[in-house]
Structure 1
Amino acid sequence: MSSTILVTGAGGWLGSLIAEALHSDPTAPNTRLILADVVKPKAPAGSNALVIQADLTDRAQVNALFTTSFGIPNTVYCMHGIMSRGSEENFELGIKVNVDSVRLLLEETRSVNAPKPIKFIFTSSLAVYGGPLRDIITPETIAVPQSSYGTAKLMAEIMINEYTRRGWVDGRIMRLPTITVRPGPPAAATSAFISGIIREPLSGVEATCPIGDSYESPELSLPLWLASPETTIKNLILARHIPAERFMAHTRVVCLPGFTATIKDELEALVKVAGKEALQLVKFVDDPVSRRIVSSWPSVFDNTYALSLGFVADEGGMEPIVRRFQQSVVKSDR
């Protein structure tokens, strides 16, 4: 039996990886993909896909995603959004894209005549946390965001939980760790430097670290909650296959597994993989706004619940992640 899956934000880096992974998923052959974004996405090679350029803040254009020749999707991956720094600098646009458009998508998912609630997989963020926090974040930790991006993500989460409680959708809310190393150009996210200080030096390009003013700066001991792209994609695919009854009764939020590493840990892994000459390409220009936002994010989570559902975690810390990325850079240069 074929599945039809709608992916919004499919023109972005993570959305395009999800599209590729869904196409290649051996547990779901014959998958049909509806790929939508404000810029026209690119379909995976050999896939059965419709690519649609759409303004996801427009009700008519969102409605059209559910009336294509592929019919009603049985799964929606809601992955579009304005990233953290962009949301902070333009509050109105951030709310329009990160909250209002998610509600439009929820309403269309709710309104179609599907035989059972459609799976609605939402990519949230650890930016929903902030303020005084316990040393380890558990499923019971209350989210109090300290940024516009985190606030919008939490608002969307609450709506998805409510639509799920009412039986209108089958929500699965995945709070992602910071993903590193991301390829491609820097995103408009406060966390973009976390990939940039590895990605750019491995390509022979200078990078800016906005935390601390030198390699010896104590601010580099700032801990981060991280996951590799490979593990994140694997977990987002797994999210679709978990039976609904295995999630907690009162919430569909899952903090996907990650690991803790400091900014200094990242840079030390860079040196181990590429030598001190790579580190010399990292320039330190302390930015109080970035430091405030990143410092508000939690850095240690209890992975027990997520692992009990079948999600997986990275092993070995930063060094194997940096080595894999270096290998991808070398491969692309050939």
Structure 2
Amino acid sequence: MVRLVSEGMAQQPRQLPAWLLYDAEGSRLFEAICAQPEYSLTRVETALLESRAAELAAALGDGVLVEFGAGNARKVAPLLKALRPPAYVPMDISATHLAGACEALQAQHPAVPVLGISCDYSLLAQLPEHPLLQGERLLGFYPGSSLGNFSPDQARRLLEQFSRLLGPGSCLLIGIDQPKDRARLEAAYNDAAGASAAFGRNLLVRLNRDLGGTFDPGAFAYRARWEADHSRIAMALVSQQEQEVQLAGRRWRFGAGEELITEYSVKYSPEAFTALAAAAGWRAVRRWSDPAGDLSLHLLVPAAAGRGGPQGADSAGTAPVQRES
């Protein structure tokens, strides 16, 4: 952590890994964000998963369900009910959050064995050798449009990582938030109740606690801004004055108005995402969307698997997925 934080603080603009936001308090605050009226992504995706669960299960086929970045693992419930997989394997960086989610899901789905893995899935070399995973086809699940927290190059590498972890014959169901009106996007990441701002400032609290930081959270303002050229929301803590802080054994100076980027959220059109997936060795075979076109669920298979398999469908269930060439 010390190395990553030091490298991030040395960048211009300064930027820290987004996973640092998710300590126990950060995870709690993120759940609060998801409940805010301005933040529709969670509600839209959950509704889509619930309304299309049987269709999604049929398209995924048989296999162990592996969820990357499970969080509270509530979105997976419709899939578990429709799929009835031989096992469910959620991954999350917060061990405490993951333990609670696994316990709740196991109680709700006693016939499905649950194997939680606390890890940074972007750095995981391989899945553990466990009887539940031996000889099973793996079905990847990555909801929440979390891919947007990575730059496009990082996102491509992460999709390649998923392919290595899941192996031949696998598939990946992934949620992708799409570009929309600027005012809606900025409001979603800067809610009136202040949950987003508290989430951002909690990063400074964590740095103070875990790395001997001397940040004054009140000396930083939270800002969320749409950057159209990059098709992303940039979330930042902005220094309100010239100041010096200690962190990870070093002194760092902030100028008035200087930003510390806490995370980005890139938004992809269906065409842009399928092109990104293709660059990472995946082929898009189906797509489901809400009626307003705010969010898509994409089903991907390894490109090496050939061009067989189910044909694509949009939210109306008729149009094939088109890939940029």
- TM tier, smaller: 0.3 to 0.5
Give the TM-score normalised by structure 2: 0.38
Structure with greater strand share of residues: 2
Give the TM-score normalised by structure 1: 0.38
Q: Which has the higher contact order (CA 8 A, sep 6+)?
A: 2
